[in-house]
């Protein structure tokens, strides 16, 4: 006889007899599509101030705004040559967020961050917020909320962004800075490999793989920013591009490009120096490009700023948070030169009715009438016929 089979009744188990919790305890509240759309339109996006009122107004899209700046959940690209002021501006933004009680993640891809420079910037911001001189204890307390990473390769950055640790980023983080992003990309996937036409299969693979990696990375950055509700600021260097259509010389462009990367960047700022003046131009704002593809080298809407001897970034040439354009400082641009015709546009001489050498039928008739007659050629000696 077969052994009796033990049958477990689920309904009679103690867990099943307990009272079920209401759905509202473990589910999100139900919201209609119209209510969600209305809430999305009325709620203003959270932003981090750039400490430059005119720049905040431009990024918010309003004439005057106190809530503009680097929008949370989005990526802002800052590009420009070395010494333009990218690190100084981001250090002041990061110090302001630390003094407000938020956390900041700083990732170095190129040169390491100067901690003494961060301490001095944080001391100035803490003194400005409290109204009293900040002590070393206050600076040390704020430094506890500052997380610094030094990533030597692009693989480390991909692992950190695409496969973050359980406690990364920490709760309360409002800003993430990736400094020298183009250096990491150029080391593994160079922008221009070699000038020669003969490239190996490995070099061709690297040239095509660069944009695929950029698309994956910018998608991971956007996902990380949206899920944790913080702003991401990425600094890139410069590259040169020849403007063949306009006839002008080469112009500076962002060090990282491509349709995948441009589609994931929400704001794009260019920082540059003109003699003793510094400027920041808004080229892309809220996902909308302010300059066309034909305007390579244009700066967009410009705001002037200065860096004091102590490292403080101050705005210049503005009143009430709105940038003022001085008509005396108009930029005089070089006139465009006519574009040279390519080989396909040059007409073929065969089948053309017009004479390329400028001879006309009337010129030939006049030359025949004025020149020597045929009788002179007939009187020439036979021995001189070949002369």
Lowest mean pLDDT among 19-33, 194-208, 228-242: 19-33
The whole-number pLDDT of residue 167 equals 87
Is 141 part of any domain?
Answer: yes
pLDDT exceeds 90 at position 375: no
The string of pLDDT tens digits covering residues 47-89 is 999 999 999 999 987 544 557 899 999 999 999 998 899 999 9
Span 277-302, mean pLDDT? 83
d(Cα 318, Cα 49) in Å, to the nearest integer? 17
DSSP string spanning 271-305?
Answer: EEEETTEEEEEEEEETTEESS-TT-TT---EEEEE
Q: Is the pTM of this model over 0.95?
A: no
Question: Which of 31-40, 113-122, 162-171, 354-363 shows the lowest per-residue confidence on average (mean pLDDT)?
Answer: 354-363
**Least confident interval from 96-100, 181-185, 346-350:** 346-350
Is 141 a residue whose pLDDT tops 60?
yes
Angle between the 115-130 and 86-99 helix axes, to the nearest 10 degrees? 50
pLDDT at 328: 40
| Predicted pLDDT at 343 | 65
**Residue 386: predicted pLDDT:** 46
- Examine residue 270 and state whether it is found in any structural domain, yes or no: yes
CB distance 269 to 70 below 8 Å: no
pLDDT given at position 9? 47
* pLDDT-wise least confident of 1-10, 26-35, 63-72, 91-100: 1-10
- Residue 32: per-residue pLDDT: 79
Give the per-residue pLDDT at 344: 64
Question: Once rounded to an integer, what is the mean pLDDT over residues 244-253?
Answer: 71
The helix (run of H) or strand (run of E) holding residue 218 is helix 201-228
DSSP string, 185-214: HHHHS-SS--SSS---HHHHHHHHHHHHHH
Q: Does the pLDDT at position 27 exceed 80?
A: no
Q: Of 9-23, 164-178, 205-219, 362-376, where does the model show the most confidence?
A: 164-178
* 333 occurs within a structural domain: no
Predicted pLDDT of residue 41: 58
Per-residue pLDDT, 244: 65
Closest CA relative to residue 236, chosen from 344, 99, 82: 82
Residue 152 within a domain: yes
**Whole-number pLDDT of residue 377:** 45
**Strands 231-236 vs 173-179: parallel, antiparallel or unpaired:** parallel
Number of domains in the chain: 1
Q: What value does the mean pLDDT take over residues 169-193?
A: 88
CATH classification of the domain holding 283: 3.40.50.300
- Confirm whether 343 is domain-assigned: no
Q: Does residue 331 or residue 167 have the better pLDDT?
A: 167
Q: What pLDDT is recorded for position 353?
A: 55
The more confident residue out of 41 and 119 is: 119
What pLDDT, on a 0 to 100 scale, did the predictor assign at position 251?
80
The distance in angstroms from the start CA to the end CA of the chain is: 133
Of all residues in the chain, what percent carry a pLDDT higher than 70? 65
Give the model's pLDDT for residue 95.
94
Q: What is the pLDDT of residue 316?
A: 85
What is the rounded CA–CA span in Å between residue 234 and residue 220?
14
Average pLDDT, the chain: 77
What average pLDDT does the segment 111-117 reach? 88
Domain assignment of residue 45, yes or no:
no
- The pLDDT of residue 279: 93
Q: Is 43's pLDDT higher than 60?
A: no
pLDDT the model gives residue 49: 93
pLDDT at residue 177 is higher than 70: yes
User: Within 13 A of 261's CA, how many CA atoms are on the CB side?
Assistant: 18
At 108 the three-state DSSP class reads: strand
pLDDT reading at 122 higher than 60:
yes
pLDDT category at 176 given cuts 50, 70, 90 is very high
Residue 114 lies in a domain: yes
* Measured torsion, CA atoms of residues 8, 11, 13, 15, in degrees rounded to the nearest 10: 140
Is it the case that residue 320 has pLDDT exceeding 50? Answer: no
- Region 182-195: mean pLDDT is 76
Nearest-angstrom CA–CA distance, 278 and 318: 14
Give the mean model confidence (pLDDT) for residues 258-273: 92
Decide if 280 is inside a domain.
Answer: yes
Containing domain of residue 318, as a range?
Answer: 71-328
Q: Residue 161: is its pLDDT beyond 70? A: yes
């Amino acid at each position: 006889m077969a052994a009796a089979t033990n049958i477990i009744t689920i309904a009679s188990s103690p867990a099943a007899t307990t009272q079920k919790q209401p759905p509202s305890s473990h589910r999100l509240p139900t919201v209609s599509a119209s209510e969600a759309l209305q809430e999305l339109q009325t709620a203003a996006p959270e932003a981090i101030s750039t400490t430059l009122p005119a720049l905040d107004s431009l990024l918010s899209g309003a004439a005057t705004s106190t809530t503009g700046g680097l929008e949370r959940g989005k990526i802002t690209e800052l590009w420009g040559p070395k010494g333009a002021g990218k690190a100084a501006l981001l250090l002041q933004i990061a110090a302001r967020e630390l003094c407000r009680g938020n956390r900041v993640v700083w990732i170095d891809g190129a040169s390491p961050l100067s901690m003494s420079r961060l301490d001095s910037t944080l001391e100035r911001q803490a003194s400005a917020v409290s109204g009293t001189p900040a002590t070393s204890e206050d600076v040390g307390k704020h430094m506890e909320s500052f997380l610094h990473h030094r990533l030597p390769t692009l693989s480390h950055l991909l692992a950190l962004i695409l496969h973050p640790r359980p406690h990364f980023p920490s709760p309360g983080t409002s800003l993430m800075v990736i400094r020298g992003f183009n250096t990491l990309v150029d080391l593994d996937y160079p922008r221009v490999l070699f000038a020669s036409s003969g490239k190996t299969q490995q070099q061709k693979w690297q040239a095509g793989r660069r944009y695929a990696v950029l698309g994956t990375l910018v998608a991971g950055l956007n996902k990380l920013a949206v899920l944790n509700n913080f702003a991401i600021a990425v600094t890139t260097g410069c590259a040169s591009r020849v403007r063949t259509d306009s006839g002008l010389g080469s112009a500076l462009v962002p060090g990282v490009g491509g349709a995948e990367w441009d589609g994931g960047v929400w704001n794009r700022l260019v920082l540059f120096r003109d003699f003793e003046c510094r400027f920041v131009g808004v080229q892309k704002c809220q996902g909308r490009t302010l300059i066309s593809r034909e305007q390579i080298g244009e700066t967009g809407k410009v705001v002037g700023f200065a860096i004091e001897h102590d490292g403080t970034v101050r705005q210049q040439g503005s009143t009430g948070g709105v940038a003022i354009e001085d008509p005396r400082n108009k930029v005089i641009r070089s006139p465009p030169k006519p574009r040279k015709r390519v080989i396909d546009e040059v007409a073929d001489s065969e089948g053309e009715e017009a004479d390329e050498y400028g001879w006309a039928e009337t010129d030939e008739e006049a030359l025949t009438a004025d020149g020597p007659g045929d009788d002179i050629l007939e009187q020439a000696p036979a021995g001189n016929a070949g002369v």
